[in-house]
Amino acid sequence: MTATADGRLDPEYDSEPVAVGDRPPALLGTGRWQPEDTDQLRPAGEADLRPADAREALARATTHLLSLQSSEGWWKGDLETNVTMDAEDLLLRQFLGIRTEEQTRATAEWIRSQQREDGTWGTFHGGPPELSTTVEAYVALKLAGDDPNAPHMLAAARYVRSAGGIAAARVFTRIWLALFGWWPWERLPEMPPEIIFLPRWLPLNIYAFGCWARQTIVPLTVVSAHRPVRPAPFALTELHTDPDDPYPHRPLAPANTWDGLFERLDKALHAYHRRAFRPLRRLAVAQACRWIVERQEADGCWGGIQPPAVYSLIALHLEGYELEHPVMKAGLSSFDRFTVHTEDGKRWLEACQSPVWDTCLATIALVDGGVPADHPALVSSVDWMLGEEIRKRGDWAVQRPGLPAGGWAFEFENETYPDIDDTAEVVLALRRVAHPDQAKVDAAMDRGVLWNLGMQSKNGAWGAFDVDNTSTLPNKLPFCDFGEVVDPPSADVTAHVVEMLAETGRSRDPRTRRGIEWLLRNQEADGSWFGRWGTNYIYGTGSVLPALVAAGVPDEHPAIRRAVRWLEDRQNADGGWGEDMRSYDDPARWAGRGDSTASQTAWALMALLAAGEGPKGRANPAVEGGVEWLVRTQLPEGTWDEPQFTGTGFPWDFSINYHLYRLVFPITALGRYLNGEPGTIRTDGTPPIGAAR
């Protein structure tokens, strides 16, 4: 049977083309990316690879990964972002009056260590200078006592002025400055707390935002209502392009544009702030604070991420919560768990922690790498993951009120926001382990599968946290310049769910097939897939190909062949793959292009192996070159060096270096290269949910 004209699949798959709209045919690349020092590297396809070398590399890597497991059964690598986390921590402590000299010294040392030669700070390794990050880092260092006439401070201030000064920084940076009078609240977009009353059927209600934005915006409405100003410890005139006109007015955009419409709405809201109906304002602030407190997690954080936590603490403090109040004490103590102390005395903060994600990926990697399915470390990891299952109804239930709870979040504690991606990967991990209480594992998997199926969006795909969170209006608001604020379905999350459904025997389920159809329709013209939560097209393609093949799409299908050609074309001359974060901003130049990294090379290999390339299928020099690159670049302790950021919070705006990615994904790729199909102790699929066992 063939694909129908609108891209849907008939009951059987074959190799005929699938309709992809009116996009042009796949575009072949113009040649492999050339690293700077290719003279010392062997071209892909000319590797002298022995299976024994790959097995030795895999053994070293699995031994190292096993050594990193906690006594409780979980794995967690550091989650590195950028120095705004550290700068804002000092500013928060200054605002609350709890900043210590030791915290300041250690944090300032870290911030200085991340400054580049040109005096700026970026948001990812090797990336361009970033204005807001540089402003916040500069202010934090000045707070720590750095002389503004010191060379590193002069260089930073010079860049800030050349990039437009504080006035050109993002809204969130200017909010931090407004807390100390360095920027006027009147020159910031208004965020009225009355938004908490908007019903769900109205645009721009709080549930129209992605969960991370929702958790940040609600406390910011309280802060905006108060407009607090603490005494500024120093001036920042050197960061203005014109100190005599530090707060320049910008002309309004045309009224017939979205920008113009919302700018005029913002002016009206500023007028309302001055004349707000006080009983309604007090009621809105009180309701917002209740909403905040109800969503504080057991570890004191909010959503397991930094922005909601810092703004929630400020909002509640402004509403009279003393620092000794249990809510405030728990919130502040949560930052201690997010703090990383380096061996040389520096201090930096994780924006989030990823133990569930790291543990399920590590479990998959170890089984696929050949570790016995009943190994005690794997049984221990399953026990821990079972204990992390979320049986509480969170904000997701606003859209799915009748759906039973069941799923997993990303962090140690985050019962309000389980996510679809973690749930899919946890189920894939649980299936691979031979656990002594299989009935308990099966019941948890059934709940996870049922919850994921219930979280399918109406277009057939899956977002990360919510259903049908696809409105385009929130991104157009003046204060939403800090990154993506909605959670539409993405190829990588959808692929992980499809792969999970296929492995649990549900390839023929109509909901699985709708997910497959969405993936085929959303393939890029060049054959790749966009990666929402990992960088970028290599991650998307590395996620989708294994899912499609697992779900029964034959590896000779045109969509898969286009993807294989794209990956082959993007392979670096050294045999690896890499993609720079700039592919989000400039895909024409950077898609699939960048210095080779261990995680991205592994993603490409996982995709090619799933597509039938390599020792168990078609002989392919690209596969051999990629494996040889992993073998050759492995460090003696068994891991890989990867300073590049290959994870994504907000595409382009917020980048992540998951320190465990450089280990778990190469193990998975090497294991599948050597052992064949992904490891699973059951190959016939599980019974349908609710069926007798």
Active site residues: 421
* Rounded-to-10 torsion of CA 92, 349, 355, 74: -120
Quote the CA–CA distance of 49 and 34 in Å, as a whole number: 22
Quote the CA–CA distance of 420 and 494 in Å, as a whole number: 9
Buried b (16+ CB within 10 A) or exposed e, 322-333: eeeeebbeebbe
Give backbone dihedrals phi and psi of 400, rounded to 5 degrees, phi first: -130, 70
> Token match 């934090």: residue?
140
Q: C-alpha 421: how far from its chain's center?
A: 11
DSSP-based three-state secondary structure for 192? coil
Strand order through the sheet with 79-80: 79-80, 654-658, 647-650
Quote the CA–CA distance of 149 and 681 in Å, as a whole number: 64
Question: Which residues are CB-contacts of 535 (< 8 A; sequence separation ≥ 6)?
Answer: 579, 580, 581, 583, 584, 600, 645, 646, 647, 648, 655
Tokens of 291: 């909403």
Give backbone dihedrals phi and psi of 176, rounded to 5 degrees, phi first: -60, -40
Q: Which ranges of 179-325 does DSSP label H, i.e. alpha helix?
A: 211-226, 258-275, 278-294, 306-318
Tokens of 608: 């090619």
| Closest by Cα among 384, 368, 511, 488 to 428 | 368
Question: Which residues are CB-contacts of 527 (< 8 A; sequence separation ≥ 6)?
Answer: 26, 541, 559, 562, 563, 564, 565, 566
Whether the CB-CB separation of 570 and 33 falls below 8 Å is answered with yes
Whether the CB-CB separation of 65 and 659 falls below 8 Å is answered with no
Quote the CA–CA distance of 642 and 646 in Å, as a whole number: 9
Q: Strand pairing of 647-650 and 654-658?
A: antiparallel
Question: Which residues are CB-contacts of 141 (< 8 A; sequence separation ≥ 6)?
Answer: 108, 111, 112, 152, 153, 156
Task: List, in sequence order, every residue forming a beta bridge with 347; answer none if it has no partner.
Answer: 341
Question: Which residues are CB-contacts of 659 (< 8 A; sequence separation ≥ 6)?
Answer: 77, 78, 79, 80
Kindly state the DSSP code that residue 555 receives in the 8-state scheme.
Answer: T
